[in-house]
A and B are shown apart, each in its own frame.
Chain A
Amino acid sequence: MSGHDSKYFSTTKKGEIPELKEELNSQYKDKRKDAVKKVIAAMTVGKDVSSLFTDVVNCMQTENLELKKLVYLYLINYAKSQPDLAILAVNTFVKDSQDPNPLIRALAVRTMGCIRVDKITEYLCDPLQRCLKDDDPYVRKTAAICVAKLYDINAELVEDRGFLESLKDLISDNNPMVVANAVAALAEIQENSTRPIFEITSHTLSKLLTALNECTEWGQVFILDALSRYKAADAREAENIVERVTPRLQHANCAVVLSAVKMILQQMELITSTDVVRNLCKKMAPPLVTLLSAEPEIQYVALRNINLIVQRRPTILAHEIKVFFCKYNDPIYVKMEKLEIMIKLASDRNIDQVLLEFKEYATEVDVDFVRKAVRAIGRCAIKLERAAERCISVLLELIKIKVNYVVQEAIIVIKDIFRRYPNTYESIIATLCESLDTLDEPEAKASMIWIIGEYAERIDNADELLESFLESFPEEPPQVQLQLLTATVKLFLKKPTEGPQQMIQVVLNNATVETDNPDLRDRAYIYWRLLSTDPEAAKDVVLAEKPVISDDSNQLDPSLLDELLANIATLSSVYHKPPDTFVTRVKTATQRTEDDDYPDGNETGYAESPANAADGGASPPTSSSSVPYGAARQPAPAPAAPAPAAPVPDLLGDLIGLDNNAIVPADEPATSSGPPLPILLPASTGQGLQISAQLAGQDGQIFYSLLFENNSQITLDGFMIQFNKNSFGLAAAGPLQVPPLAPGASTRTLLPMVLFQNMSAGPPSSLLQVAVKNNQQPVWYFNDKILLHVFFTDDGRMERTSFLETWRSLPDSNEVLKEFPGIMVSSAEATLDQLAATNMFFIAKRKHANQDVFYFSAKIPRGIPFLIELTTVIGNPGVKCAIKTPNPEMAPLFFEAIETLLKA
């Protein structure tokens, strides 16, 4: 049944669009149909054919179902770019929704729901109402989903027109597919509403469990997922539910199986009888194991979920560890997950076999997998005390193979094993030292150095070994430097002889004067002071006994685990993260034109790029600035040595050759102009960096006024700024211009801002989350408040008549009122001037009893007007403010702004 549609992709020499236009208007049916196919072909390869809108829509009234579907598809793609012309299609839609053929009725509602153009949406209500009660289940099941579509576009409309009730009625529909789709739609609507809409009573529960038996596989998934929210009243009810869900474990569709597992696990929490629980665990094991014979992608999802399940109910798969052994041809992502579960299931009983496997994996070729296998051996050693020795001998065997990355990885895990079982396995240190020269990875090096320092007294040539590292101290990565520092101090405390004394001099010198790494320097100073004040105390601190570690890596916090288990089979369970960390609902009714999507598309007047609307997630900029770290180094400022608490004693008298004058950088006050800005990042949280900032409007442009003060000891440079999604889509219009800040310096800058760049969904909020980074410090996050008056535009002045008309035309529901009892207007004139300066325009004033009533107008971008009525008695506290606006949800923000303005 192969087609030959590819011919439609071929282009002709003559201008394509005019030719298509001609063909679309041909008097011959077949020619028109071919032309529409060519249009769709062009759309598919990303050409812009939106200019043919009217011609295509003209082909909509046809008996030919195939042609109709193509025209509808075209509409879905281009209606948004031609909203005014889209209205032309409405009549046909409405007519089609009453066609005798149910396929066409369903097609019409389905398509209308996909066209996110307000004008079309209005006309959708009546057909949708009809279709929800259609005789044909095919139409009803389509209409059920369409309610969710409409809710996504206009939730109020759905509630006002009673669609929710109709949808709830469909739960009792006699057709299982309709029921399933109604459940899916309701569950989605509930997810996006704060009101209880779709509450599952025991009655609905029982009805839906019956429907399960008749549903399509996909419908079963919708129902099981929705029902897993249900909390049974007691153990008996839970048992009943489980009993009715268990047969689903036998379904061939693995999604049905996983959703059933989710439901059973949820209910099991309530079941008290240990027999029942044991029995259920026994029942769930085989289906979970069978999931591992599914396609690799599904295996991956299954494995991520099994990882969660065994954390809560380890017994389920305790005897099944063998099924997680890796097969030669498993994709690497499956192998990695299997390894993780093998560690979780490893026990004294099976450890020998597991170790054999790990050893096998450690000689494979995929480096990441090999490393993980070696780590796995280490984690088993930490987890299973009785197996530790066997684990170590396997690690030693692996080290003997002398494959570089295996050796390094082995040394890292052996360090952890030493931490877990102190003074037990030190006999192997000599073997480890043989591989010293081959170590080139920071973590492995650091681990080896830690081992040398920790057991310095047992290693005869510990000083020689450490010394070999010292030459390259300045070039080592920070991790290694820190370990070298500590190890040298340990060595010195354990063997306070001449060699180590010289070494510590070199190290401390390097770590204080030569470095610009604050962590390293701080640690060096602490040691230095400790050693110089009280070497015995230093011993107590540095050589203190360490708490024994345990293997809790990859163990999830119980409450998080609960949440993830409630989300089995979903993305949340794959990521091991709660849904709100990655769900990003963008409520853009934006329907792209294809030319936005492809670089070779033509230009249209439709400017708003959807990529922008969707861009700019919560993460701060991750790409580091172009200035490399090394180039940004400044000569390190003379370190502020600690004030001597006691006379410098014997050992370290003049070791360092620094005098002890505390060098404190002059803390100059920031000398900058302008009113003080609110401090958003205090120096105490910003490691010395203080940021004050405020939004400001100037000549119709919005700026972010920022003051940076560097109270730290190092020069900060490479400043960058990023704004999280916010209600107004505020974002930086250009890069942040801040020069390198020397310690003690400060600078003030105006950052031009743009609106509507990265809008957040949800009700308007004044929260503005800001992230600032520089090359030296971690990323700083702070919150600011958006004051609405910053956005007031200078075209917000209204004539009296239009003010009155607008006031009357807006329904009373759009009027919002708030009183400010604590605010007093002492002079009308001054207040009016002040408000005018922020583009709040005075319109009229009247007296009402002893009160003065003032009227103003203001406007924010996108042409949203505010009509304002202020009532007060001049000179007495108490102001009443009433506003009317088409967007009453903005009112709280407005009141915040006016309060600030009047208080000022």
Chain B
Amino acid sequence: MAGAASALFLLDIKGRVLVWRDYRGDVSATQAERFFTKLIEKEGDPQSQDPVVYDNGVTYMFIQHSNVYLMTATRQNCNAASLLFFLHRVVDVFKHYFEELEEESLRDNFVVVYELLDEIMDFGYPQYTEAKILSEFIKTDAYRMEVTQRPPMAVTNAVSWRSEGINYKKNEVFLDVVESVNILVNSNGQIIRSDVVGALKMRTYLSGMPECKLGLNDRVLLEAQGRATKGKAIDLEDIKFHQCVRLARFENDRTISFIPPDGSFDLMTYRLSTQVKPLIWVEAQVEKHSRSRVEIMVKARSQFKERSTATNVEIAVPVPADASSPNVRTSMGSAAYAPENDALMWKIRSFPGGKEYMLRAEFTLPSITNEEATPERKAPIRVKFEIPYFTVSGIQVRYLKIIEKSGYQALPWVRYITMAGEYELRLI
């Protein structure tokens, strides 16, 4: 079962090695580079490639971030999930350090990159990826002091995500409840899949080592406490917690207790797979008049309560790739043809509940068509929106208790927002 990475590579967009760290001395950079450049060349689009590839005794696993590939090489049967997840974490660490992770920032900071590669992984085993704490003892030039006397306690502590001695004048916590609605509607207008993925995003500015306790209108908890639920409680299907939350405690009595990291993090994510009524329903009718003209009629309807308002609504309606000379009219908002996406982008700044808007567009098509043509990619209608002060699930933060031994009062601020996630409606 044991297994670890042999080396970690940071490669440019063509697959050439920018920086690499050899952890075990059993793979070579030439071999890896030769393999990977060939892979990219051959496939053109690495998106189509399995992220786990075997070549000549070595397994390569890679992810891409802007113009950089991060790749591990190994000869053992190592934990693939762990290493791939680790690569994503490495991206987070680099982003924390350099704001953007790209070829240039790696070159500009290669000394720190080497230092980080030495610290986050040892002998191919992931060690420590808390960017905030790392930056306390691995610093970029501008912040470098002569000698750091010791690693921050947090590196090896049970509370590995928070340093001691943090001090704020004003102790505040911001809690954003963000729900994304994923929906898939087939061409018959049937909802074939819908779920809600929620996240409790926290930003903490708290002094010392605060103990926090979060109360939600979680049905299991409320029932366990024997409280009347009055239909306000909700069932959360799968909850995932940040590592600061005591999982054993949650398992025992559903209490969410934790010492938070400093700054922003996702305290928990959850999922609901109950059927949701699509918040914004879009119907499109495509009519081909003769061979050279296509007419598209789109109806968008908001299906939530009138007191809420969706903002920044963006509806992408696919149009044929060879369409031209658009002629568009809308009853609300503005629409623009985006030929690079083969789509018509309809933007509505503000879309109150219970309203219906229309769009009518006409395109000309080339009159000559290729008989042999393979079918066109059938893109779905994609919708983006945000609805502030509203959650689909009805989740509520009942309380957030913050107790610190110095006894300060901290102010929690809670916001709710619902957004469109993968929101797709297939065309007929």
Contacts and interface: CB of A to CB of B under 8 A. Distances in A.
B109 A2 contact: yes
A398 to B, nearest CB: 11
Contacts of A363: 375, 378
Contacts of A598: 29-30
B156 interface: yes
A592 interface: yes
Interface of B: 1-4, 17-19, 22-31, 33, 47-52, 54, 56-59, 61-63, 74-82, 84-88, 97-99, 104-105, 107-112, 114-115, 118, 122-123, 125-129, 135, 137, 140-144, 146-151, 155-156, 158, 160, 184, 186-188, 192-193, 195, 197, 237-243, 246-248, 250-251, 266, 268-269, 271, 273, 374-380, 382, 422, 424, 426
A102 interface: yes
Interface string A312-334: 00000000001101011101110
Interface of A: 1-6, 8-9, 37, 40-41, 44, 46, 63-66, 69-70, 73, 76-77, 101-103, 106-107, 110, 113-114, 116, 136-138, 141-142, 145-146, 148-149, 152, 175-178, 181, 184, 187-188, 190-191, 213-214, 216-218, 221-222, 225-226, 228-229, 246-248, 250-255, 257-259, 286-287, 289-290, 293, 295-298, 300-302, 305, 322-323, 325, 327-329, 331-333, 353, 356-357, 360, 363-366, 401, 403, 566-567, 569-575, 579, 582-592, 594, 596-598, 610-611, 614-615, 617
B148 A103 contact: yes
A589 B24 CA distance: 9
12 contacts: A64-B147, A138-B150, A177-B160, A252-B268, A253-B85, A255-B79, A297-B63, A332-B48, A360-B378, A366-B48, A570-B3, A583-B75
Contact of A333 (B51, B109, B114): B51
A255 B147 contact: no
Given A213-B247, A216-B160, A228-B1, A614 B56 contact: yes
A137 B156 CA distance: 6
A223 B315 CA distance: 48
A175 B156 contact: yes
A584 B128 contact: no
A181 B128 CA distance: 12
A252 B238 contact: no
A298 B99 contact: no
Contacts of B23: 114
A73 B20 CA distance: 11
A8 B251 CA distance: 53
A214 to B, nearest CB: 4
Nearest to B239: A250
B156 A5 contact: no
What secondary structure prevails in chain B residues at the interface with A? mixed
Contact of A298 (B29, B85, B129, B250): B85
Nearest to B64: A297
Query: Which of A5, A176, A181, A222: most chain B CB closer than 10 A?
Result: A5
A41 B31 CA distance: 21
B215 to A, nearest CB: 17
Contacts of A141: 127, 156
A225 B79 contact: yes
Contacts of B47: 331-332
Given A64-B147, A70-B111, A327-B184, A145 B29 contact: no
Given A218-B86, A218-B125, A570-B79, A586 B149 contact: no
B247 A184 contact: no
B123 A3 contact: no
Nearest to B191: A322
Contact of A44 (B110, B151, B186, B422): B110
A623 to B, nearest CB: 13
A69 B246 CA distance: 36
A579 B248 contact: no
Given A110-B118, A252-B243, A574-B52, 17 more contacts: A6-B108, A77-B22, A106-B151, A114-B25, A191-B1, A213-B248, A214-B158, A218-B86, A290-B271, A296-B51, A305-B81, A333-B48, A353-B192, A364-B378, A571-B59, A585-B26, A611-B30
Contacts of A333: 48-51
A401 B108 CA distance: 55
Given A250-B239, A251-B243, A2 B105 contact: yes
Query: Which of A221, A257, A573: most chain B CB closer than 10 A?
Result: A221
A782 B75 CA distance: 26
Contacts of B105: 2
Contacts of B186: 356, 360
A571 B60 CA distance: 10
Given A5-B109, A364-B377, A184 B2 contact: yes
Contacts of A225: 1-2, 79
A44 B19 contact: yes
A584 B58 contact: yes
A45 B268 CA distance: 42
A592 B108 contact: no
Nearest to A329: B422
B2 A226 contact: yes
A226 B115 contact: no
B88 A73 contact: no
Contacts of A145: 122-123, 125
Contact of A365 (B81, B85, B374): B374
A591 B271 CA distance: 48
A117 to B, nearest CB: 11
B24 A289 contact: no
A570 B30 CA distance: 26
A569 B84 CA distance: 11
B243 A611 contact: no
B82 A101 contact: no
Contact of B77 (A258, A328, A583, A617): A583
A750 B330 CA distance: 84
Nearest to A37: B111
A188 B4 contact: yes
A69 B118 contact: yes
Contacts of A360: 186-187, 378, 426
A773 to B, nearest CB: 19
Contact of A76 (B17, B22, B28): B22
Nearest to A291: B81
B192 A293 contact: no
A165 to B, nearest CB: 19
B248 A3 contact: no
Contact of B240 (A64, A251, A298): A251
A325 B193 contact: yes
A187 B84 contact: no
Contact of B76 (A76, A216, A583): A583
Nearest to B187: A360
Nearest to B160: A216
Nearest to A153: B25
A3 B149 contact: no
A597 B184 contact: no
A300 B123 contact: no
Nearest to A253: B85
A213 B246 contact: yes
Contacts of A181: 122, 125, 127
B31 A611 contact: yes
A181 B155 CA distance: 13
A297 B125 contact: no
A403 B3 contact: no
A610 B56 CA distance: 13
Contact of B140 (A3, A298, A357): A3
A300 B61 CA distance: 11
B156 A138 contact: yes
Contacts of A114: 23, 25, 123
B9 to A, nearest CB: 11
B122 A142 contact: yes
Contact of B192 (A254, A325, A589): A325
B375 A63 contact: no
Nearest to B129: A218
Given A2-B109, A295-B88, A571-B52, A177 B30 contact: no
A615 B77 contact: no
